[in-house]
Amino acid sequence: MRDFTAAVVCLLLLTGCRQQVYDFEPPSDVDRGGTNEVEPSAAEGNVGSAKSHASPATDAWPNLFGPFHTSVAGESPPLREWTANGPPLRWEAAIGAGYSSPVARDNRLIVFYREADEEVLECRAANTGQSIWQLRRPTTYKCKYRYSDGPYSSPIIDGESVYAISAEGIMRCVDAVTGMPRWEKSLWDEFGMEENLFAVAGSPLLWRDRLIFNAGGTNGDAGIVAIDKRSGKTMWTATDHRAGYATP
């Protein structure tokens, strides 16, 4: 994968967002699997810095496409006029490669990217860009298409934890404040996921106490799966749908 650097840029575009409540009911809970409990360790480094231009932060953009999955901050009117150089820049910071979207809540901005043979889940202060913690994990994933080694999936932050899925289908849960690992599991191994054109790329949906994900597994009806957000255990599986790149 060609080495290149993406820039995270925080703009004066968003303020507070409300949390969404969904009204659908998934299938009844069935415990069909387990997880690998991870021993917590110290957060892996308060490293990195950013050039700060201002202070206030956005309130909540906790998942891909925002709290309403519409890419719209409902309580934030758009800027009517921009200067010739665009919206005022608050801060910027260099990070690694990937296709994951940043998410934010409680003045914490979560970014997920790749540097060499590591995937990095990082938390930065949304108002300054200062790095708060990093979780680094090795990866060997290589896509047959150039510049496509991932990660693709966007993380979720719910106030207590951050959830992320690696290019190789490892789902991880870490403490949102400290970055300490809570649990992880291989979706690929448990559900028999199949090789796709690109890396594991779908982003999960957080609904109440569970993460719902289009795994496309071949081990029984594991097209769509629900994972307990606190323990990582499988709650139910359903359908024979193949994996895609969307959020359920």
- The count of other CB atoms within 10 Å of the CB of residue 198 is 17
pLDDT confidence bin for 35, thresholds 50/70/90: very low
Whether residue 63 has pLDDT greater than 80:
yes
23 vs 167, more confident? 167
What pLDDT, on the 0 to 100 scale, is given for residue 38? Answer: 45
pLDDT for 50: 53
Residue 12 sits in which domain range? 6-26+37-189
Under the banding of pLDDT at 50, 70 and 90, the label for residue 95 is very high
206: in domain:
no
Torsion on CA atoms 105, 244, 180, 190, rounded to nearest 10: 150
Between 191 and 220, name the one with better pLDDT.
Answer: 191
Q: Tally the domains of the chain.
A: 1
pLDDT exceeds 70 at position 40: no
Per-residue model confidence as pLDDT tens digits over 224-244: 999 999 999 999 999 999 998
Strands 224-228 and 118-125: unpaired
Q: What is the CATH number of the domain that holds 154?
A: 2.40.10.480
- pLDDT tens, residue by residue, 110-164: 999 999 999 999 999 999 999 999 999 999 999 988 888 989 999 999 989 999 9
- Within 10 angstroms of residue 24's Cβ, the number of other Cβ atoms is 5
pLDDT of 73 reads 80
DSSP string, 157-204: E-SSEEEEE-TT-EEEEEETTT--EEEEEEHHHHHT----SSSS----
DSSP string across 104-134: EETTEEEEEEEETTEEEEEEEETTT--EEEE
Q: What is the DSSP letter of 31?
A: -
Look at residue 131 and tell me if it is in a domain: yes
Kindly report the pTM of this predicted structure.
0.78
- Indicate the DSSP class of residue 218: T
Q: How far is CA 248 from the centre of its chain?
A: 14
Question: Has residue 14 been placed in a domain?
Answer: yes
3-state SS assignment for residue 36: strand
pLDDT over 90 at 78, yes or no: no
Asked if pLDDT for residue 47 goes beyond 60, the answer is no
Q: Is residue 85 part of a domain?
A: yes
- Residue 63 covered by a domain: yes
Residue 221: inside a domain: no
Res 173 pLDDT > 60: yes
Nearest 10 degrees: Cα torsion 119, 136, 5, 163? 60
Across the chain, what does the average pLDDT equal? 81
More confident residue, 41 or 103: 103
